[in-house]
């Protein structure tokens, strides 16, 4: 067997091996209740940090909650409702940056309630 034939055989073997591996690989997703619990923890951390008045820390907690919430996915209605609640997080983050902590607290409480109601849209 010539060198060229062996090279082609190995190239085919490894390309097929790579193709089948990536085809059958499944993306590992966390369950929705687990993600919602993580989001709730981050929102609660932001609410707990409000009395300190540290805008940077509060904004970081809100940003983390938004990033975790982006992992939530079920169906069109679920994602539509999720996006509405994420907008509340965004508004609260903007209010924190403007040092309107009372308004931010209200938006965070609304967002927390919205995330708690998301499972009924699954």
In-domain check, residue 25 = no
pLDDT band at 15 (very low <50, low <70, confident <90, very high): confident
The enclosing H or E element of 24 equals helix 3-24
Within 8 A by CB and 6+ apart from 79, the residues are 72, 73
Average pLDDT, the chain: 87
Structural domain including 69 reads: 32-121
Q: Is residue 15 part of a domain?
A: no
In this predicted structure, the answer to whether residue 23 has a pLDDT above a threshold of 70 is no
Q: Domain count for the chain, please give it.
A: 1
- Alpha-carbon distance of 40 to 60, in angstroms, equals 14
- The CATH code of the domain that includes 67 is 1.20.120.660
Give the pLDDT confidence score for residue 1 in this predicted structure.
63
CA dihedral 100, 105, 106, 110 (to 10 degrees): 140
Tell me, yes or no, whether 6 lies in a domain: no
Residue 9 domain-assigned? Answer: no
Summarised one tens digit per residue, pLDDT across range 31-53 is: 889 999 999 999 999 999 999 98
Please check whether residue 16 lies inside any domain of the structure.
no
């Amino acid at each position: 067997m010539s060198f060229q034939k062996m090279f082609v055989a190995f190239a085919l073997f490894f390309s097929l091996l790579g193709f089948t591996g990536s085809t059958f690989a499944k993306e590992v997703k966390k369950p929705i209740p687990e993600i919602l619990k993580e989001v709730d923890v981050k929102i609660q951390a932001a609410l707990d940090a409000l009395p300190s008045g540290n805008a940077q820390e509060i904004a970081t907690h809100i940003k983390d909650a938004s990033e975790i919430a982006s992992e939530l996915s079920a169906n069109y209605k679920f994602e539509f409702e999720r996006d509405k609640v994420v907008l509340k997080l965004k508004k609260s983050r903007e209010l924190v940056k403007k040092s309107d902590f009372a308004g931010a607290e209200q938006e965070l409480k609304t967002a927390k309630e919205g995330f708690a109601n998301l499972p009924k849209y699954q």
